[in-house]
Amino acid sequence: MRKVAVMMEKPTFNADQIVSSSVASKHFGEIRRKAKTMPQFITDNGTVDAVVLDYDYYEKLYMRLTELEENEETRILKARVDRLEANPAAAVSWKTIRRSNKNEQSTF
């Protein structure tokens, strides 16, 4: 089975969400207030450098990312177990792996 890479698009935003770093430093309270309803993108020399998010939104993003990472790890482990169950002869002992790693490290 071939793994297919999925390309994610960069986030989009409107002009109301873009703030220069100099303006953000002078009006941080206003930036925080706006971030409660939509992320605020702080620019430095015209390039987005930071994002101010509502904490509840950040927490949801973090929880979802953690969930997706755990699901991906589970999927990878399941695929490895399935491969080994289908071909037990392909299994390699931990001692063999450790020995090969020690040999590779000694060459540096």
pLDDT value at residue 76: 93
Residue 13: its pLDDT value, please?
84
**Separation of CA 77 from chain center:** 19
Cα distance between residue 8 and residue 3, in whole Å: 16
Q: What is the mean pLDDT of the chain?
A: 88
Question: What percent of the chain has a predicted confidence (pLDDT) above 90?
Answer: 63
CB 90 within 8 A of CB 84: yes
Domain boundaries, the chain: 13-53, 54-108
What is the pTM assigned to this prediction? 0.63
How many angstroms from the chain centroid is the CA of residue 65?
7
pLDDT band (50, 70, 90) for residue 108: very low
Task: For residues 39 and 55, give the distance between their C-alpha atoms in angstroms, rounded to a whole number.
Answer: 10
Band the pLDDT of 95: cuts 50, 70, 90: confident
| pLDDT of 5 | 61
- Fold of the domain built from segment(s) 13-53: YefM-like fold (3.40.1620)
Token pair 């960069």 is found at 10
- Mean pLDDT of the region 18-38: 96
**Residue 102 and residue 47: Cα distance in Å, rounded?**
45
